[in-house]
């Protein structure tokens, strides 16, 4: 008998009927003879609604109280799910993150797991229960406060428990049939991927594919947890995220590649496309082109606690000796970074700041890119034919990202998806959720 961790996202438990349906599914796993630990998210868009409520009370909610508020969402769904399972004749107990031993540091809204001590979960399993754990939350020994792991963090709770309990697999149940070549809400012709490497999934998640929380993928890779993403609305096979090294990847591709008639090996070069509308762009205009200015600017940005993604510095105009530096960051961090830079404007000596929250980010990801030279050319060609203007570009070994206008992001994604031959045979099914 093995232990399985199953995580159900918000859209899978959006209402009473869904909770009963999920309960049935969990019981089936129990009946098959497995121990089951369930991690559950808040119902539907509850977390967003609670956040909206907080912002109606105050524009800058206190981080401690904000975490207290948001964690209440998972408390509702965990208790209802336990009740539903009990009413169907199986024993279940729900636990908050802190009862389940999810110990974190004390960073509200972005806490990191420092220890997992699931003693109570093990006791509950030993007593024959299905254990239900509230996702996305933990407890800091340092501050003795309740923390959250960041939006989408229930995936990470599930992986951390799977690692601590040495589970056979960590199943992530959501509102689509698995991981697709692109977000099916943006690119309806997206194709389901059967297996994806954790390296590729990390790049997709980093580029905004919220189907998996990036830290869940990192944690799973580090601890050798097998992730299986699938729909709670169907019995489709889903997607396995496999932990393999670049060498193992190359060996597998060599085995799996098809050899075409002229004897050349055709590798799957691209694994997918990610889109992201959650970022904004700040341009620091008229920065003196002398040593130390970039450091000064990004020290201020880091001090404000923002994670910068893409950075572009223009060539300075010879006549003025001034340059512009643009960077992207989460919209949620925009105002505090503008405030921090404005405060330091006299010291850094730039002329002005521009804030643009109408940008979209598109990333093309594929492990095969590192050995294939034509990818960037095809990518830019496809965007040009689709009439998309590119505002920023950045690359890694297995990714190319661009910034476009927000309202042309979907057209851009669909064009690139088609250009790289990623389109499936039929439209992907989106079972539920609002995409919020
Ligand atoms: P949950 O509430 O189950 O955690 P999320 O909304 O966090 O669900 O994640 C599932 C959503 O992720 C899908 O409905 C889809 O819109 C989006 N998504 C983004 N990129 C992808 C992708 N490459 N494959 C599948 N889904 C994706
Ligand atoms: N409920 C939290 C959120 O919406 C955590 C999660 O669903 O993973 O971000
Ligand atoms: Mg999620």
CA distance 33 to 433: 31
**Average confidence (pLDDT) over 393-404:** 92
Residue 348: other Cβ atoms inside 10 A: 17
Please state, as a whole number, how many other Cβ atoms lie within 10 Å of the Cβ of residue 199.
21
The answer on pLDDT for 8 being more than 80 is: yes
Q: Higher confidence at residue 305 or residue 94?
A: 94
How many Cα atoms sit within 13 Å of 179 on the Cβ side?
30
This prediction has a pTM of 0.89
The mean-pLDDT minimum among 76-85, 91-100, 260-269, 423-432 falls in: 260-269
Give residue-wise pLDDT tens across range 182-220: 999 999 999 999 999 898 899 999 999 989 999 999 999
Task: Name which of 76-85, 157-166, 290-299 the model is least confident about.
Answer: 290-299
pLDDT at 45: 96
Q: Whose CA is nearest to atom 11 of ligand 1?
A: 211
Q: Give the pLDDT confidence score for residue 248 in this predicted structure.
A: 76
- Give all strands (DSSP E) within 194-288, no chain letters: 195-197, 227-231, 239-242, 258-259, 265-266, 272-276, 279-288
Distance 212 CA to ligand 3 centre (A): 6
pLDDT value of residue 267? 55
Rounded mean pLDDT, 100-129: 97
pLDDT at 262: 55
Give CA 198 to chain center in angstroms.
13
Residues 338-357, mean pLDDT to the nearest whole number: 94
What is the model's pLDDT at position 260? Answer: 54
Mean pLDDT score across all residues of the chain: 92
Is the CB of 42 inside a 6 Å radius of any atom of ligand 2? yes
**Distance between first and last Cα of the chain:** 38
The answer to whether residue 92 scores a pLDDT higher than 90 is: yes
219-277 pLDDT, tens digit per residue, is: 999 999 999 999 999 999 999 999 877 677 677 767 766 655 555 445 567 889 999 99
Ligand 2: distance of its center to the CA of 136 in Å?
A: 6
Q: Taking a C-beta distance cutoff of 8 angstroms, is the pair 394, 310 a contact?
A: yes
> Contact, 400 vs 434, CB < 8 A?
no
Quote the pLDDT of residue 281: 97
The answer to whether 147 and 98 are in contact (CB under 8 A) is no
Crossing angle of helices 331-343 and 293-303, in 10° steps, is 120
Average pLDDT over residues 125-152: 97
pLDDT tens per residue across span 349-395: 999 999 999 999 999 998 888 777 788 999 999 999 999 999 999 98
- Token readout for 428 is 């992907």
Q: Is 47 in the pocket of ligand 1 (CB under 6 A)?
A: no
| Cα–Cα distance for residue pair 425/117, rounded to 1 Å | 46
pLDDT of residue 430: 93
Tell how far the Cα of 367 is from the centroid of ligand 3, in angstroms.
Answer: 24
Question: pLDDT digit string (tens) for 19-60?
Answer: 999 999 999 999 999 999 999 999 999 999 999 999 999 988
pLDDT digits (tens, 9 = 90+) for 75-86: 999 999 999 999
165 C-alpha to ligand 2 centroid (Å): 22
Q: Which domains does the chain have, with CATH numbers?
A: 3-246 (3.40.1160.10)
Given 3-state DSSP classes, what are the helix, strand and coil percentages for the chain, each rounded to the nearest 5?
40, 25, 35
Say how many Å lie between the CA of residue 209 and the centre of ligand 1: 7
For residue 156, give the ligand nearest its CA. Answer: 2
* Ligand 2 mean position, distance from CA 37 (Å): 18
Tell me which residue has its CA closest to atom 9 in ligand 2: 151
Alpha-carbon gap, residue 44 to 40, rounded angstroms:
11
To test the pocket of ligand 2, the residue of 7, 9, 42 to mutate (highest count of ligand atoms within 8 Å of its CB) is 42
What's the 10 CA to ligand 2 centre distance in angstroms? Answer: 7
**Does residue 175 have its Cβ closer than 6 Å to ligand 1?**
yes
> Of 100, 98, 94, which Cα lies nearest the Cα of 143?
98
CA neighbor of 356 nearest in space, from 429, 407, 319: 407
Q: What is the rounded average pLDDT of the residues 113-125?
A: 98
Q: Pick the range with the lowest mean pLDDT from 150-154, 266-270, 305-309.
A: 266-270
Instruction: Report whether 202 contacts 218 (CB < 8 A).
Output: yes
Other CB atoms within 10 Å distance of the CB of residue 54: 17
Give the model's pLDDT for residue 314: 81
Ligand 1 pocket residue status of 66, Cβ below 6 Å: no
152 Cβ below 6 A of ligand 2: yes
Give the other-Cβ count within 10 Å of 349's Cβ: 14
- Residue to mutate, 49, 171, 176, ligand 1, most ligand atoms under 8 Å from C-beta: 176
Using the 8-state DSSP alphabet, how is residue 290 labeled?
Answer: S
pLDDT attached to residue 268 = 62
pLDDT at 149: 97
Contact of 200 with 209, CB cutoff 8 Å: no
């Amino acid at each position: 008998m093995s232990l399985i961790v199953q995580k159900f996202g918000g859209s899978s438990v959006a209402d009473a009927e869904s909770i009963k349906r999920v309960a049935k599914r969990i019981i089936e796993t129990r009946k098959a003879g497995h121990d089951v630990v369930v991690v559950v998210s808040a119902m539907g868009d509850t977390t967003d609604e609670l956040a909206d409520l907080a912002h109606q009370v105050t524009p800058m909610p206190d981080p401690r109280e904000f975490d207290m508020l948001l964690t209440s969402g998972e408390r509702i769904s965990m208790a209802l799910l336990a009740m539903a399972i009990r009413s169907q004749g199986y024993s279940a107990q729900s636990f908050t993150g802190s009862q389940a031993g999810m110990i974190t540091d004390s960073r509200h809204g972005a806490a990191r797991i420092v220890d997992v001590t699931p003693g109570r979960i093990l006791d509950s399993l030993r007593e024959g229960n299905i254990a239900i754990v509230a996702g996305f939350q933990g407890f800091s020994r340092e501050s003795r406060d309740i923390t959250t792991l960041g939006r989408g963090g229930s995936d990470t709770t599930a992986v951390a428990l799977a690692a601590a309990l040495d589970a056979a697999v960590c199943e992530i149940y959501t509102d689509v049939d698995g991981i697709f070549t692109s977000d099916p809400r943006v690119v309806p012709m997206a194709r389901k991927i059967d297996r994806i490497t954790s390296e590729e999934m990390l790049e997709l998640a980093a580029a905004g594919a919220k189907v998996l929380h990036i830290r869940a993928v990192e944690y799973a890779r580090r601890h050798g947890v097998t992730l299986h993403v699938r729909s709670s609305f169907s019995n489709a096979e889903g997607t396995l995220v496999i932990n393999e090294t670049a060498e193992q990847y190359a060996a597998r591709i060599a085995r799996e590649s098809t050899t075409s008639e002229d004897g050349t090996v055709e590798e799957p070069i691209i694994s997918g496309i990610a889109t992201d509308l959650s970022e904004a762009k700040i341009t620091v205009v008229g920065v003196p082109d002398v040593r130390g200015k970039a450091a000064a600017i990004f020290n201020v940005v880091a001090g404000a606690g923002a994670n910068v993604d893409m950075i572009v510095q223009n060539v300075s105009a010879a006549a003025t000796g001034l340059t512009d530096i643009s960077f992207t960051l989460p919209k949620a961090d925009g105002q505090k970074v503008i405030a921090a830079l404005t405060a330091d404007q006299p010291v850094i000596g730039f002329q002005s700041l521009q804030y643009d929250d109408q940008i979209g980010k598109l990333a093309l990801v594929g492990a095969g890119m590192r050995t294939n030279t034509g990818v960037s050319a095809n990518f830019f060609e496809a965007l040009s034919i689709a009439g998309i203007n590119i505002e920023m570009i950045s690359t890694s070994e297995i990714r190319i990202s661009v910034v476009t206008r927000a309202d042309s992001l979907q057209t851009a994604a669909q064009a690139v998806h088609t250009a790289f031959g990623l389109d499936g045979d039929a439209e992907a099914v989106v079972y539920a959720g609002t995409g919020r």
